[in-house]
């Protein structure tokens, strides 16, 4: 920031001297501001609410009757960071408020082959993996829950060594998140793609998109199969009070593994015949500060 050499000085009711900086641009002082001419140079002092932490004892009243305090310092320039891996954030100088957006990890997709895979009679409950929670200090966005698929198999033998398996669904709980995935019990068409929950947008305070994260895992079905797709991770946006130089740790929620009959996989799984299951994608954190936020 460019500040003028001279400053506004005043005493409060206790006799303590207070100082207010004068800036060369309105972008540095913030809005509203107090225009001043200092030694022939145009300058601007910050105006803040009377309860603002930057407020001095100096007061200014507009022609409309609104009263402001002269602020000791202006608003830092707008800045932001978009983070996709674990780390820590150091609050910049002059920053007292952060706008934090967290998106949790998406849940993985699930693909179960036909009934012939079951070797004995019984009810089988098959779960995928939920997305992990993303947190920035106390701000938390949960990951999408896992789909749960319950199926009853009846296995019989004709006495000549031929196995017959009949199946029916007992319950399906679809993955829950910001945007749910979809559930299909009979993906009978060949090479059908079922999308998981869409990636969640991380939008800056001015409406600009910084990126997206937390998509749910989908499934591509090559022949008859039972599937559940993953939901998107949840999204949380909060303003939090901070102090300059404060260090805040953050962690990114992992996308859930995909479920393929016989195992869980951190990457997409394709057996070359029955179809492909895809994992959910990781979450992310967007941190913003400065003008427009404090």
24 within 8 A of 3, measured Cβ to Cβ: yes
pLDDT at 269 (0 to 100): 84
- The tens digit of pLDDT for each residue in 206-231 reads 999 999 999 999 888 766 667 788 99
pLDDT at 160 (0 to 100): 77
| pLDDT of residue 64 exceeding 90 | no
Structure tokens given for 276: 């492909």
pLDDT at 60 (0 to 100): 92
For range 287-292, the mean pLDDT: 89
| pLDDT of residue 82 exceeding 80 | yes
pLDDT at 161 (0 to 100): 74
- The tens digit of pLDDT for each residue in 100-129 reads 999 999 999 888 766 666 778 888 888 888
pLDDT, mean over the chain: 87
pLDDT at 166 (0 to 100): 81
- The tens digit of pLDDT for each residue in 176-190 reads 888 876 665 544 433
pLDDT at 188 (0 to 100): 40
Hey, which of 29-38, 83-92, 105-114, 116-125 has the most confident mean pLDDT? 83-92
For range 75-95, the mean pLDDT: 92
For range 264-287, the mean pLDDT: 88
Whole-angstrom Cα distance, residue 235 to residue 269? Answer: 28
Confidence at 1, pLDDT banded by 50, 70, 90? low
Instruction: Please report, rounded to a whole number, the percentage of residues in the chain having pLDDT higher than 70.
Output: 92
pLDDT at 220 (0 to 100): 83
- The tens digit of pLDDT for each residue in 114-172 reads 666 677 888 888 888 899 999 999 999 999 999 888 888 888 887 777 778 887 777 88
Confidence at 265, pLDDT banded by 50, 70, 90? confident
pLDDT at 189 (0 to 100): 38
Whole-angstrom Cα distance, residue 277 to residue 262? Answer: 12
| pLDDT of residue 286 exceeding 60 | yes
- C-alpha distances in Å from residue 5, one per residue of 75, 76, 94: 18, 18, 19
pLDDT at 106 (0 to 100): 95
pLDDT at 38 (0 to 100): 93
pLDDT at 242 (0 to 100): 95
């Amino acid at each position: 920031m460019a500040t003028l050499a001279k400053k506004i000085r005043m005493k409060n009711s206790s006799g303590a001297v207070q100082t207010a900086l004068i800036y060369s641009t309105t972008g540095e002082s913030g809005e509203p501001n107090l225009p001043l001419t200092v030694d022939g140079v145009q300058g601007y002092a910050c105006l803040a609410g009377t309860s603002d932490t930057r407020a001095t004892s100096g007061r200014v009243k507009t022609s409309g009757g609104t009263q402001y305090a002269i602020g000791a310092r202006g608003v830092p320039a707008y800045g932001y960071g978009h983070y996709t891996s674990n780390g820590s954030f150091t609050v910049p100088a002059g920053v007292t408020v952060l706008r934090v957006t967290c998106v949790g990890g998406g849940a993985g997709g699930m693909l179960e082959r036909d009934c012939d895979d079951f070797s004995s009679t019984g009810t089988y409950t098959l779960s995928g993996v939920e997305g992990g929670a993303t947190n920035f200090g106390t701000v938390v966005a949960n990951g999408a829950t896992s789909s749960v698929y319950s199926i009853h198999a009846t296995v019989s033998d004709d006495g000549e060594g031929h196995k017959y398996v009949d199946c029916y669904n007992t319950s399906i709980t679809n993955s829950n998140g910001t945007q749910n995935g979809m559930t299909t019990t009979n993906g009978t068409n060949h090479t059908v793609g079922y999308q998981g929950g869409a990636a969640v947008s991380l939008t800056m305070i001015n409406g600009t998109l910084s990126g997206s994260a937390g998509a749910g895992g989908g499934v591509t079905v090559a022949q008859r199969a039972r599937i559940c797709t993953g939901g998107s991770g949840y999204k949380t946006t909060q303003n939090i009070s901070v102090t300059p130089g404060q260090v805040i740790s953050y962690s990114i929620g992992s996308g859930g593994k995909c479920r393929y009959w016989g195992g869980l996989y951190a990457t997409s799984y394709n057996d070359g015949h029955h179809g492909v299951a895809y994992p959910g994608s990781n979450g992310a954190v967007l941190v913003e500060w400065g003008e427009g936020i404090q």
